[in-house]
Structure 1
Amino acid sequence: LAVAEERLRFGRDMHDVLGRNLSVIALKSELAVELAQRGNPAAVDQMVEVQRIARASQQEVRDVVRGYREADLPTELMGARGVLQAAGISVTVEGADGPAGIGAPAAVQAALGWVVRETATNVLRHGDPRHCSIRLARTRDAVVLEIENDGAGAADPLGGGGDGGGSGLAGLRERLGALGGSLTAGPVGDDPDLFRVTATVPLTASGPGGRTASDPGGRTASAGGERAALGERTASGERAAPSAPPASPSPDPSALPEER
């Protein structure tokens, strides 16, 4: 049911983002063809508008997809509590309503959300837990997430991400490492039945390319670069409709973009 609801929500978002814009692009393209066939230079204005709408649509699609790829910490905490309790495991969550859970930068919350999602899934998959505790704390310069469960025994709640086996632990370390964070996982003290995962992410973390916690993907700069590159390509000319005679000197065919 959750998967079906998410598909419906994604379908609605994509329809809202692309539906109107694609209709406008189609109409303006048809108008540009008619104007070009008449030799009316206004066809160029229509195609410039088509380009503008197409670029805006690209950015809107990126925003939608980025939102679905990122894990939201409050949502993941609520989901982990629900799925673990449904499996008969008692769950306690501490600190989610404080500054560690609410006041942390979005990139930090997203990274910790992935830790919650992966760990909760694997707590169910490995061992025989009866209790799981999730604790969020904020120090002066970092947010610390601890997830601890019993019933681990010899199993690795993260799917064998230590020296071999699965990739859950390695994937989480890579994700946190991009923000300058760290992740440790292992038995608590001498008790092999108790397993703890600790994730630490600096509030002022910087990842590859100088990204900060408030700008985890460097999206603004990269999107601007893509738009600039697209502007350079379109400035060299667009493919004309097959039946449309040129209203002005044709651009150099060698400068045309390979993709429409």
Structure 2
Amino acid sequence: MTDTISARLDNLITPLHRWRGLGGVGKYALYTRVSLQLIPVSVALGYLVAVINAVPTMDIAPWRMVVGSGYILLLLAFAIGVFELHPDLNTRERRPVGPVFRLGLIFTLLGFAGSLALQHPAFQPVERQAAAIVSVLSLFVLCFVYVPWLRYRWIIIIGLTATAGFLMGATIPDSYWWWIMPPLMTVTVRMSIWTVNVMKEVERSRELEASLRVTEERLRFAQELHDTLGQHLAAMSLKSELALALAKRGDDRLEGELRDLQKLTRVSMSQMREVVQGYRSINLATEVEGAKSLLNDARITLRIHGAVDQVPAPQRELAAWLVREATTNVLRHSDATHVDLDLSASEVRMTNDGVTTAMGRLSGLDALRQRAQAAGVSLRVACEGGQFTVRLIPEGDAV
């Protein structure tokens, strides 16, 4: 039981402890969520402090004070829960907010209605004033926590404000500020939700762009293969069918057709090797410039330390593959804001700061590791403190 409670508490505060590990959208969503939670907390604490200071001078039964304070604390707990769980203010999946939202809304509406009823002239003036304060707090929470997510929100705000103003007019005759407060609170929350959703859309666009670039490269390669080999393969198919027909008839032209088929096969194999070789042959300087352009489009800063000519010539092709694969992984698997590329004679290292979760198996790096081993170079991958690092080190210098 203790372990379960500890795990839940840890899950609740983990985003605060791992602030650096969150992506840009995650940080903004957390900041917005906490900011919205602090507003009702501040209001409720202000109410409780005022009640404590006024107790000696107010002729209200202690149990009424306890009930009112308990109601405010529960009001606050529901408000924090709704903001904490609502998907509009989160970038990761959380528990469903529906049960908390519905229960909190019903509880707040009942408290609001009860506090309005307590302002009937049959009650003492001091009790009616205390009930009016609870009504204002309830109206504030309704318009700040629940109404922004309801349909017909502006009609609801007008109805709640008019009801509160009509029933509270006799208790607090010279205060009209609640006519402004409800729509202002709702607008504040709606603007915050809109901003977070815009940032989520930008992040999704960035991920889509990275995926499209990879898809375009695959389509380009497929198109080259099709354009290069398609005609020859079709010719080979016709030649083989003709050869079969000639073989059945014992035609003397069979040998010539088989020689043509053999020639087409060799030409096709040669052209396929050229396409694959052209796809595999990459240049380190070109890859560095391409990575810089790609990361810049994704609003990620690439800082380059060293120069291409510092990398030993035999290792430049491997280094180019490292830059290409690491850049792809940054775009597809991280929330990085900065990437560092170190080029030197002793190592080639690429580091990003966008690790938010445990990294799974990256098949591209596995293939690069096999190629590096064949060339006598060591590929090292490390993930620590929110930093993901890939290094190429000559075997003699590996530690």
Secondary structure of the equivalent of 1:98? Answer: helix
User: Using the alignment, how far apart are the partners of 1:48 and 1:124 within structure 2?
Assistant: 50
What's the % identity of the aligned pairs?
39
In structure 2, do the counterparts of structure 1 residues 70 and 47 end up closer, same or farther at CA, with 3 Å as the change threshold? same
Look up the match of 1:148. 351
Q: CA deviation at 1:50?
A: 0.6
Which has the larger Rg? 2
The one-letter code matched in structure 1 to 2:225 is: M
Q: Does 1:166 align with 2:361?
A: yes
In structure 2, do the counterparts of structure 1 residues 134 and 24 end up closer, same or farther at CA, with 3 Å as the change threshold? same
> What do residues 158-191 of structure 1 show as CA deviations (whole Å, max 9, x unaligned)?
x2xxxxx534665543332121101334489xxx
The answer to which structure has the higher strand fraction is: 1
> TM-score if structure 2 supplies the norm length?
0.37
User: Using the alignment, how far apart are the partners of 1:87 and 1:184 within structure 2?
Assistant: 26
Once structures 1 and 2 are overlaid, which stretch shifts more, 50-59 or 4-13?
4-13
Look up the match of 2:377. 181
Q: Which runs of 4+ in 1 moved over 6 A?
A: none
The one-letter code matched in structure 1 to 2:345 is: R
Is this contact kept in 2: 1:182–1:199, CA < 8 A? yes
User: Using the alignment, how far apart are the partners of 1:145 and 1:120 within structure 2?
Assistant: 14
In structure 2, do the counterparts of structure 1 residues 9 and 170 end up closer, same or farther at CA, with 3 Å as the change threshold? closer
User: Using the alignment, how far apart are the partners of 2:319 and 2:310 within structure 1?
Assistant: 14
The one of 221, 236, 252 aligned to 1:41:
252
The one of 308, 311, 327 aligned to 1:120:
327
User: Using the alignment, how far apart are the partners of 2:330 and 2:219 within structure 1?
Assistant: 29
Look up the match of 2:342. 135
**Structure 1 unaligned spans of 5+:** 160-164, 203-260
User: Using the alignment, how far apart are the partners of 2:237 and 2:381 within structure 1?
Assistant: 54
In structure 2, do the counterparts of structure 1 residues 16 and 120 end up closer, same or farther at CA, with 3 Å as the change threshold? closer
The answer to which structure has the higher helix fraction is: 2
Look up the match of 2:313. 104
User: Using the alignment, how far apart are the partners of 1:53 and 1:182 within structure 2?
Assistant: 41
The one-letter code matched in structure 1 to 2:391 is: T
User: Using the alignment, how far apart are the partners of 1:146 and 1:95 within structure 2?
Assistant: 11
Look up the match of 2:6. none
The one-letter code matched in structure 2 to 1:43 is: L
Q: Does 1:84 align with 2:295?
A: yes
In structure 2, do the counterparts of structure 1 residues 172 and 5 end up closer, same or farther at CA, with 3 Å as the change threshold? closer
User: Using the alignment, how far apart are the partners of 2:366 and 2:234 within structure 1?
Assistant: 44
Q: Does 1:25 align with 2:236?
A: yes
Number of residue pairs aligned between Structure 1 and Structure 2: 183
User: Using the alignment, how far apart are the partners of 2:219 and 2:244 within structure 1?
Assistant: 36
Is this contact kept in 2: 1:25–1:53, CA < 8 A? yes
Look up the match of 2:391. 198
**Structure 2 unaligned spans of 5+:** 1-211
In structure 2, do the counterparts of structure 1 residues 118 and 97 end up closer, same or farther at CA, with 3 Å as the change threshold? closer
The one-letter code matched in structure 2 to 1:49 is: D
Look up the match of 1:14. 225
> What do residues 167-221 of structure 1 show as CA deviations (whole Å, max 9, x unaligned)?
4665543332121101334489xxx46664321258xxxxxxxxxxxxxxxxxxx
Secondary structure of the equivalent of 1:118? Answer: helix
User: Using the alignment, how far apart are the partners of 1:30 and 1:187 within structure 2?
Assistant: 57
In structure 2, do the counterparts of structure 1 residues 127 and 15 end up closer, same or farther at CA, with 3 Å as the change threshold? closer
In structure 2, do the counterparts of structure 1 residues 57 and 151 end up closer, same or farther at CA, with 3 Å as the change threshold? closer
> What do residues 113-133 of structure 1 show as CA deviations (whole Å, max 9, x unaligned)?
332233334445677644322
User: Using the alignment, how far apart are the partners of 1:181 and 1:51 within structure 2?
Assistant: 40
The one-letter code matched in structure 2 to 1:112 is: A
User: Using the alignment, how far apart are the partners of 1:45 and 1:96 within structure 2?
Assistant: 57
User: Using the alignment, how far apart are the partners of 2:224 and 2:218 within structure 1?
Assistant: 10
Is this contact kept in 2: 1:173–1:182, CA < 8 A? yes
User: Using the alignment, how far apart are the partners of 2:216 and 2:276 within structure 1?
Assistant: 16
In structure 2, do the counterparts of structure 1 residues 18 and 10 end up closer, same or farther at CA, with 3 Å as the change threshold? same
Is this contact kept in 2: 1:145–1:198, CA < 8 A? yes
In structure 2, do the counterparts of structure 1 residues 30 and 113 end up closer, same or farther at CA, with 3 Å as the change threshold? same
